[in-house]
C-alpha cells in the first residue's frame, strides 16, 4: 500500500555566480590570464582597464550588487561538489585519506627555466643593448643551468646576430646580474662558481660556517673534490666540527640549478601566487600582480542599456535586445566581483597561515612549523574547509627562503614527552639529520631510529618512522651501507 508522506529537507544551493567564484579560486596564477582572456572574448560588456568613476571598495563580503537579478535556476551544492573540482581533502598528513590517491587537484602554474629568467631580466633597469646581451646570455644557459660557451664566443654571436659591439667587461657585468636570479647558482660557468654563488647568497654571510664553506670552495676546491679534508682543515686551521659543518653545508647545495641535465625533460618553475617580504621583522604579504587584473564594465554597454531601458518596452525585438544587454552587463559585474572575492579570499587564507606559522616565516627553519590542518585555518577565517583546500592545493608563496606550495605548511602533530604536539615535519627533519650523520659502514635500522627519536622525546612508532623514511626517499639500512 502506497503512502504519501511530507518531509522537510534542508539543502544548500550554489548560485551560478558562487560557482564562478569557486572555479576562479582554484585557478592557478599562470592560468588566470587565459581565463580572463576567455571571458573578455565571450562578453563584450567586459573590458580591460580601471574604472575611474567607481570608488574602491575594500569590503568584499557583499560580493554581488543588489540590483543584479539572480537566475531562476540554482544549482544544488551536493551535485556540484560531487564533481571533481578539488575536494577538501589534501594529500598532506592529517588532511588526506587513501581513497583520494587518484584525485587530480590543480597545481600552481609553471613556466620554463628560460621564461622564468627572461621574466626576471625584465625587472632590471637595463638599456636596450644590455637587455639584448642579457637575452643572449640567458639563451646560452644549458638545461642544467650552466653557461659553458666561452664569453668571447658569445660576444661574437651578439655582434653577428644583433650587430652590437660590446666587450668582456660589459658582458660579465650583465652575467653577474643574471647570476643573482633564482634559482640560486644559475648561469655559472663551472661547478665551483655555481657553489660560490649559492654560498654568497646565504642569509647570514657573516656566519663562520658560511665563511669556512666559501674558503673551502674558493681556495681549496680541488682538495674538496678529492676529499682531502685533512689538508683543508690544516690550511684553514679549523676544528673537526667546524670542517664537518662547512662540508655539510656545501653538500646541501644544488649542483644543477637548472634541473635535468640530459635535455629530455623541460624543467618547470612554479609561479608564486603570493610574495612575502620581511621589512625589519615585519612580515607583509602581497598578491602576485597577475592576480589583480584591472577590469571594468563597458561604458558603452551601460549607456546602451540605459537608453533601451527608457524606451518603449512593447517592441519585441527591442525587449530581446534589452534582455541580451542586461545579461552581458550582469555577467561582467559578476565576473569582476568574483575576481575581487578571489583576491580577498586568497589574502585572508594566506594571512591566517602566516599568523599560524609565523616562526617558520621569520626564520625559515622547518622545525619551527606547527602542526596545522585545514580545519585550523578554516576556523580562523570562518570559511568552509573546502574553500581553504582550494587555496592550499593550488597556490604557492615566494619567501626569502624559497618558493613553497601552501600545502607544505599543513601537517599532522606528533606527541612529545613534554605533552606538546610538534609538526611531523620537525620529526622528519630530525630523522633526516640522524641518517645524514650515521656511520655509513653501520647504517641505522628503523628500530634504532625509533629508539633514538624516542630518546629525543618524540613518541613515534616504527611503522611511522618507516613511512617518513620512505617519504624522504631514504633507502632501508642495508642499501645505505658503504665500504
* pLDDT tens for each residue of 314-362: 667 777 777 887 888 888 888 888 888 888 899 999 999 999 999 889 8
Tell me: pLDDT of 73 over 70.
no
| pLDDT of the residue at 16 | 65
Domain ranges of the chain: 11-79+271-410, 112-251, 413-480
Reading the block at residue 150, the C-alpha cell is: 666561452
DSSP state of 366: G
Backbone phi, psi, residue 183, to 5°: -75, 150
| Confidence at 57, pLDDT banded by 50, 70, 90 | very low
| pLDDT of the residue at 422 | 67
Backbone phi, psi, residue 71, to 5°: -65, 155
Tell me: pLDDT of 207 over 80.
yes
Task: Tell me if residue 124 falls in helix, strand or coil.
Answer: coil
| pLDDT of the residue at 372 | 86
| Confidence at 93, pLDDT banded by 50, 70, 90 | very low
| pLDDT of the residue at 261 | 40
Reading the block at residue 376, the C-alpha cell is: 585550523
| pLDDT of the residue at 65 | 36
Contacts of 198 (CB under 8 A, 6+ apart): 184, 185, 253, 254, 257
Tell me: pLDDT of 197 over 90.
yes
CA distance 372 to 415: 14
- The β-bridge partners of 297 are 46
Lowest mean pLDDT among 18-27, 184-193, 266-275, 459-468: 266-275
| pLDDT of the residue at 1 | 54
DSSP-assigned letters across all residues of 213-230: HHHHHHH-HHHHHTT-HH
Percentage of the residues of the chain whose pLDDT score is greater than 70: 76
CATH number of 413-480: 1.10.10.60
Q: Which residue has the higher pLDDT, 320 or 81?
A: 320
Is the whole-model pTM more than 0.75? no
Reading the block at residue 320, the C-alpha cell is: 530581446
Contact between 335 and 295 (Cβ < 8 Å): yes
C-alpha pair distances (Å), 113 with each of 196, 209, 225, 254, 476: 21, 31, 28, 15, 34
| pLDDT of the residue at 12 | 52
Average pLDDT rounded to a whole number, residues 181-208: 90
* pLDDT tens for each residue of 412-424: 767 666 656 666 7
Average pLDDT rounded to a whole number, residues 101-118: 59
| pLDDT of the residue at 82 | 34
Contact between 29 and 291 (Cβ < 8 Å): yes
| pLDDT of the residue at 366 | 76
| pLDDT of the residue at 269 | 55
Percentage of the residues of the chain whose pLDDT score is greater than 90: 18
Tell me: pLDDT of 171 over 90.
yes
Average pLDDT rounded to a whole number, residues 198-205: 85
DSSP-assigned letters across all residues of 301-331: HHHHHHHHHHS-TT-HHHHHHHHHHHHHHHH
| Confidence at 407, pLDDT banded by 50, 70, 90 | confident
* pLDDT tens for each residue of 32-54: 888 888 888 888 888 887 665 54
User: Over the range 79-96, which residues count as b (16 or more CB within 10 Å of their CB) and which as e?
Assistant: eebeeebbbbbbebbbbb
* pLDDT tens for each residue of 119-160: 889 888 888 999 999 999 999 998 889 999 899 999 998 888
| Confidence at 234, pLDDT banded by 50, 70, 90 | very high
Average pLDDT rounded to a whole number, residues 27-31: 74
Reading the block at residue 158, the C-alpha cell is: 651578439
Closest C-alpha among 189, 143, 124, 144 to residue 135: 124
Of 13-27, 43-57, 62-76, 371-385, which one has max mean pLDDT? 371-385
| Confidence at 262, pLDDT banded by 50, 70, 90 | very low
How many helices and strands in the chain, by DSSP H and E?
21, 12
| Confidence at 70, pLDDT banded by 50, 70, 90 | very low
Tell me: pLDDT of 79 over 60.
no
| Confidence at 392, pLDDT banded by 50, 70, 90 | confident
User: How many alpha carbons fall within 13 Å on the CB side of residue 311?
Assistant: 15
Average pLDDT rounded to a whole number, residues 245-253: 89
Tell me: pLDDT of 267 over 60.
no
| pLDDT of the residue at 309 | 66
Amino acid at each position: 500500500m502506497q503512502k504519501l508522506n511530507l518531509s522537510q529537507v534542508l539543502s544548500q544551493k550554489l548560485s551560478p555566480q558562487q560557482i564562478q567564484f569557486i572555479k576562479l579560486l582554484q585557478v592557478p596564477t599562470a592560468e588566470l590570464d587565459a581565463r580572463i582572456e576567455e571571458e573578455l572574448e565571450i562578453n563584450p560588456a567586459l573590458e580591460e582597464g580601471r574604472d575611474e568613476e567607481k570608488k574602491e571598495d575594500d569590503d568584499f563580503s557583499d560580493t554581488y550588487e543588489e540590483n543584479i537579478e539572480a537566475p531562476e535556476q540554482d544549482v544544488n551544492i551536493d551535485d556540484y561538489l560531487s564533481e571533481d573540482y578539488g575536494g577538501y581533502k589534501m594529500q598532506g598528513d592529517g588532511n588526506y585519506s587513501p581513497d583520494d590517491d587518484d584525485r587530480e587537484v590543480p597545481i600552481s602554474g609553471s613556466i620554463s627555466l628560460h621564461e622564468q629568467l627572461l621574466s626576471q631580466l625584465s625587472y632590471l633597469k637595463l638599456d636596450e643593448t644590455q637587455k639584448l646581451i642579457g637575452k643572449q646570455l640567458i639563451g646560452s644557459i644549458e638545461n642544467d643551468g650552466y653557461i659553458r660557451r666561452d664569453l668571447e664566443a658569445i660576444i661574437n654571436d651578439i655582434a653577428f646576430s644583433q650587430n652590437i659591439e660590446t666587450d668582456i667587461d660589459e658582458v660579465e657585468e650583465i652575467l653577474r646580474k643574471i647570476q643573482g636570479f633564482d634559482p640560486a647558482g644559475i648561469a655559472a660557468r663551472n661547478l665551483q662558481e655555481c657553489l660560490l654563488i649559492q654560498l654568497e647568497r646565504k642569509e647570514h654571510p657573516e656566519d663562520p660556517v658560511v665563511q669556512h664553506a666559501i674558503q673551502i670552495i674558493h681556495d681549496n676546491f680541488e682538495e674538496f673534490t678529492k676529499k682531502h679534508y685533512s689538508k683543508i682543515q690544516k690550511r684553514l686551521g679549523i676544528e673537526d666540527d667546524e670542517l664537518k659543518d662547512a662540508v655539510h653545508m656545501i653538500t646541501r647545495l644544488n649542483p644543477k640549478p637548472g634541473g635535468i641535465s640530459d635535455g629530455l625533460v623541460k624543467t618547470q618553475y612554479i609561479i608564486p601566487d603570493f610574495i612575502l617580504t620581511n621589512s625589519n621583522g615585519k612580515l607583509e604579504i602581497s598578491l602576485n600582480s597577475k592576480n589583480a587584473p584591472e577590469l571594468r564594465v563597458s561604458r558603452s554597454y551601460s549607456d546602451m542599456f540605459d537608453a533601451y531601458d527608457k524606451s518603449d518596452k512593447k517592441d519585441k525585438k527591442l525587449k530581446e535586445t534589452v534582455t541580451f544587454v542586461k545579461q552581458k552587463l550582469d555577467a561582467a559585474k559578476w565576473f569582476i566581483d568574483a575576481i575581487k572575492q578571489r583576491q580577498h579570499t586568497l589574502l585572508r587564507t594566506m594571512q591566517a597561515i602566516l599568523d599560524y606559522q609565523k616562526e617558520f616565516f621569520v626564520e625559515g627553519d622547518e622545525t619551527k612549523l606547527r602542526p596545522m590542518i585545514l580545519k585550523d585555518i578554516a576556523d580562523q577565517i570562518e570559511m568552509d574547509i573546502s574553500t581553504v583546500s582550494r587555496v592550499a592545493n593550488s597556490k604557492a608563496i615566494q619567501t626569502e627562503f624559497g618558493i613553497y606550495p601552501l600545502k607544505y605548511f599543513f601537517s599532522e602533530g606528533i606527541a612529545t614527552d613534554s605533552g606538546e604536539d610538534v609538526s611531523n615535519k620537525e620529526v622528519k627533519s630530525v630523522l633526516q639529520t640522524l641518517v645524514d650523520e650515521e656511520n655509513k659502514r653501520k647504517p641505522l635500522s628503523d628500530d634504532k631510529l625509533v629508539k633514538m627519536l624516542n630518546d629525543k622525546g618524540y613518541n613515534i612508532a616504527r611503522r611511522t618512522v618507516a613511512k617518513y623514511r620512505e617519504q624522504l626517499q631514504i633507502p632501508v639500512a642495508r642499501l645505505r651501507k658503504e665500504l
